[in-house]
Structure 1
Amino acid sequence: MDESLKYPIGRPQLPSAPLSAAERAALIQQIAEVPAQLTAAAKVVGGVGLEQPYRPGGWNGRQVIHHVADSHMNAYVRFRLALTEDKPTIKPYEESAWAELPDVAATPIPVSLTLLEALHSRFVTLMHHLTDEQWQRTFYHPGNQRTATLEQTLALYAWHGKHHLAHLLLLLPKE
């Protein structure tokens, strides 16, 4: 498979050392922009285009948008768990199975875009109020058997939004 279609912006690069406040602010801003960027891309790609897969064997645009909402809801909950519990073990989920659930096909795309807008409003507000110490809090992900800091999770989800925006842009008509 063409790696550039699966990872059009490359694979995520997670920080191994603490980030500066300015670096965190830039990543938070990237997350804040995701709902508007996805909404704009969805409008340009259009209804029929969003029913097409972005690569052979890949999700269609509808699934991508609903997935981002699902994934970022999980990220928000993971942040809140890490902030309120000592090194919690989070619950992984089967992303591919979630993308096949009947609500993905039956729910209009604007519902997930509106959900993302509201969710990111809360998520960004939370992140803007974290202390340096809180950014170093962790959770354990049993699926990949790794402990992640909230800073690493911030970087991952900043990448995640851009990653799936790039998938939607692959659906634009070729000139």
Structure 2
Amino acid sequence: MESLKYPIGRFQTGKTYTMAETQSQIQTISALPSKLFNIVNPLSASQLETPYRPGGWTVTQTVHHVVDSHMNAYIRFKLALTEDNPFIKPYEEALWAELADGKGAPLDWSLQLLKYLHLRWVMLLNSLTETELQRTYFHPETKRVFALQEVVAMYAWHSEHHYEHIHQLCLREGWILE
């Protein structure tokens, strides 16, 4: 079950990153909208409603979750860049996935939203200096201060993590061949 939940492993917190690593992670974030589109576009309606693991979200819910999460991340970046170590607002991602737009909105809405959100987010990320990447926010659930440079790494991981949920499902079900 661990490999179904964490197909690329768990994110390792507390590491530091070079600017070259951060640039690579930004590229991972930048690539996600087209990667997700390419993997989900050929799927049928019933395939899109298949959970990526027992008890997990459907492909559709997973894509909607990525958009919800990355919208929150974008706002958190802007807060950290314009305020001094702001407290960020956590949200109940599992409950968001159960709302009407998390289950029933057309997938294309989230794919389009993700495309344009990532264009703005990546533009912002690419503009950041090393000093700006050291700006922080405080997460009240984890009771931890996060530097933006680590958050870039976390969302690059998050991008690959959920892409691989869908990719591995497609491989297991024989919907795609590698």
| TM-score, normalization by structure 1 | 0.95
Counterparts of 1:89 and 1:105, CA distance in 2: 29
Aligned to 2:174: 174
What are the within-5 Å matches in structure 2 for residues 21-100 of structure 1?
Answer: 21-100=19-98
- For structure 2, which runs of at least 5 residues remain unmatched after alignment? none
Alpha-carbon shift at residue 145 of structure 1 (Å): 1.2
Counterparts of 1:105 and 1:6, CA distance in 2: 20
Q: Secondary structure at the match of 2:53?
A: coil
Q: Secondary structure at the match of 1:111?
A: helix
- Please identify, of 109-118 and 6-15, the stretch whose mean Cα deviation from structure 2 is larger: 6-15
- String of CA shifts for 1:16-69, please: whole Å, max 9, x gaps: 23x222111100000000000111111243322110111111000010000000
- For structure 1, which runs of at least 5 residues remain unmatched after alignment? none
Aligned to 2:121: 123
Alpha-carbon shift at residue 171 of structure 1 (Å): 2.6
Aligned to 2:151: 153
Alpha-carbon shift at residue 103 of structure 1 (Å): 1.5
- String of CA shifts for 1:81-115, please: whole Å, max 9, x gaps: 00000000000000000000011222100100000
Query: Is the 8 Å Cα contact of residues 14 and 155 (structure 1) preserved in structure 2?
Result: no
Aligned to 1:6: 5
Counterparts of 2:160 and 2:81, CA distance in 1: 25
| Structure ranking higher on relative contact order (CA contacts 8 Å, 6+ apart) | 1
| TM-score, normalization by structure 2 | 0.93
Q: Secondary structure at the match of 1:53?
A: coil
How many corresponding residue pairs?
Answer: 173
- Please identify, of 60-69 and 100-109, the stretch whose mean Cα deviation from structure 2 is larger: 100-109
Counterparts of 2:39 and 2:13, CA distance in 1: 26
Alpha-carbon shift at residue 174 of structure 1 (Å): 2.8
Counterparts of 1:24 and 1:46, CA distance in 2: 36
- String of CA shifts for 1:129-169, please: whole Å, max 9, x gaps: 11110000000001111110001100000000100001111
Aligned to 2:138: 140
Q: Secondary structure at the match of 1:48?
A: helix
Counterparts of 2:44 and 2:163, CA distance in 1: 14
- Identity percentage of aligned residues: 49
Alpha-carbon shift at residue 15 of structure 1 (Å): 5.2
Q: Secondary structure at the match of 1:70?
A: helix
Instruction: Call closer, same or farther: CA 1:45–1:10 in 2, change over 3 Å.
Output: farther
Alpha-carbon shift at residue 71 of structure 1 (Å): 0.1
Q: Which amino acid aligns with 1:143?
A: E
